[in-house]
Structure 1
Amino acid sequence: MTCPLIQKDLANACALETVKKIVAEIGDGIFCVLVDESGDCSNKEHMVVVVRFIDGRGFVVERFIRIVHVPNISATGLKKALETLLSGLGLCISKIRGQGYDGASNMRGHLGCLKTLIKKREPQAYYVHCFAHQPLLALVSIARNHEDVDWFFCEINRLVTFIRSFNKRQDLLCKKQVSHFADLIENELMETGTWLNQELSIARANDTLWGSYFRILTRLVWLFTPIVELLEDLNSD
C-alpha cells in the first residue's frame, strides 16, 4: 500500500469508477461541456473537461471528467481530443447542447475556433462565455473607466512590454536583480533559505486572470530598484 505504483493504480481505479458513475448518471440525456486548456510546470499542455447536465432529481450538476494531455492546442487538436475522450467514455458528441470556454482565440475566436468547429457539427450546441471569467472582465471594464487606474495599468503594461521586447534587456534585468539581492543579503535585509530569493520575471497582466495583476505589481515592488537601474543604464547608453 505504500508503493507509489500501487498508489497510482488505486487512484486510477477510483477515478475510473467515479467517471463510470457520472456517465451512468448522464445516460442517454443531453449535456454541456466546459473546457479549458493550460500548461503545467513541465511545459506540457493539458485540457480539462467538465460536463454539465440535469440529474435524475431534476438538479443541474457539474461533474469533472478528466484532464487530458493534448500535444496540439489548436482548435482542431482540441476538438479531436474532446471527441476521443467522449467516445471513449460512451458519450455521444451529438448530445451536446451547450459549450462554455474562455476568450482564447483557439477556444472562442472569430474563425476556426473550437466553438465554431463543434457548432458546425452540432448546431444546437450553443456557446456561453465562461461565467468564472465574466466578473473579472466586468471588473477590468469598470477599472478602465476610472482615468487614474486605467493610466496606471497602461503604464505598467508599457513598462513590461519595453523590458520584454528584447532579450538583452531581460538579461540585464536579471544581472541587476542578482546584484540587488546580493546587497540586501549582505546587509541582512533579506532572508535566505531553500526556495528563497529565486530569480523573478515579469509578464503582461491577463484580463481573465485577476491574480496576474497582483503578481505583476508584487514583482514590480520587489524589482523596483533593479528596474530603475536598468532604465538609467538604457537611458545613458
Structure 2
Amino acid sequence: MAIVLRFVDRYGYLRERFFELVHVKDTISKTLKEEISVVLSNHELSIQNLRGKGYDGASNMRGEWNGLKALFMEECRYAYYVHCLAHQLQLALIAAAREVAEVHDFFKDLIFIVNTVSSSSKRYDELQASQIAELENLIEIEEVETGKGLNQISTLQRPGDTRWSSHYKLIYSLLKMYNATRLVLEKIVIDRRVSYSQHGDAKYVLKKLVSFDFVFILHLMEDLMGYTDGLCRALQHKSQDILNAMHLVAGTKSLIQNFRDNGWESLLQKVQSFCLKHDTQILDMQVAYSNIIRSRRNKDNITVEHHYRVDVFNAAVDQQLEELNSHFSERTTELLTLSASLSPIDEYKHFNVENICLLA
C-alpha cells in the first residue's frame, strides 16, 4: 500500500510527497485503516488533523458502512473524501458497461475482433491495404472530402482497462474501418493456410461483426460515450477549475438524460441506414423477440423493438446515469463547489463569505 501526503506548507504552498510503502496481509478496509493509523502514529501525526483523503473507487474504499472512508469518518468527521474526478468518470463508465449483459458481451467481442485482425503484421498490412482501396473508391465516386489532414489511414488499437476513452477511440475507428475489418476477416476465413483455431476465431468474430446486435450496440456506445469523452479529457487537465468541472459534469448528465428521452428514434434510424449501406441484416422491430434464457424466466412475448429499446438502450443509459450520480454525489459536488470559495485564483475571484460559513 502506497501512502502519499498532501499538505499546505508554512508559506501557503500546496505540497504532495510520497510518504511510505507498507506491506499489508490483505486489502480489507479494517487492515488498511490500522496500517495507515500506525504509520501516521509512528511519525507523530494525529488522525484528528486529517482534513481530506483520496483513494481508488473500489467498494472496500468508498463503502458507505464498512469502507475505509467510513472507518476514518468515525474518528475524524472532518476528513472529507473526494475521489479523483477523471478516475471517477472512468470507473462509472466501466461499471455501467459491466452491469448490462448485452453491452458487456459486446466489449468482449470487440476486443476479440481487434485481437484477431491485428494479431500479425501480415493482417495489419491487409487492414491498411483494404482501407486504402476503400478510400480510393470513395474519392473516385466523390463520397468523401479531400484535403490536407483528411482521410488518414488508421488502425484498431487495443483498449486499456482503466482508460475508458481508449474504448471510445476504438469504437470510433471501427466504425470508420468497418468494411476494411470485415474484408480482412473474410480473407482469413477462406485462407487455407491458416490453422484450424485461427479459421474458427475469424469465422466467429465475422459472424458477430455483421450481426444486428453488434452493430446496434456499436452505434449506441459511440453516441453514449461521445457525450462523456469530452468530460473525461477535460477532467484530466491539471489546471481545471473546480466550478467549471462541476458544470461540465452537470451538463454531461443533462445530455445523457436527453439522449435517453429523445434519442431512440434517431439511433435506430442511424443503425438501419448503416446496415443498408454495409449489407448487413436488418431486423423487423415488430416481430416477437425470441431468447432462450429470457423465455424461461418470462413467458410473455416481447417484440424486437422492446428488447433493444428497453433491455439494451434504456438499461445502458440508465446504468450510465446511475453510476454518474453515484460517483458525483450531491454531497461531493456541494463540497467542491463550496471549497472553490477559498481558491486564490484571479485574486480570490470566487471568494464568498456565505459559502465559507456553510463549508465550516
**TM-score of the superposed pair, with normalisation by structure 1:** 0.49
Structure (1 or 2) with the greater helix fraction: 2
Q: Which has the larger radius of gyration?
A: 2
- Taking structure 2 as the reference length, the TM-score comes to 0.33
Which is bigger in relative contact order (C-alpha 8 A, separation at least 6)? Answer: 2
Bigger fraction of residues in strand: 1
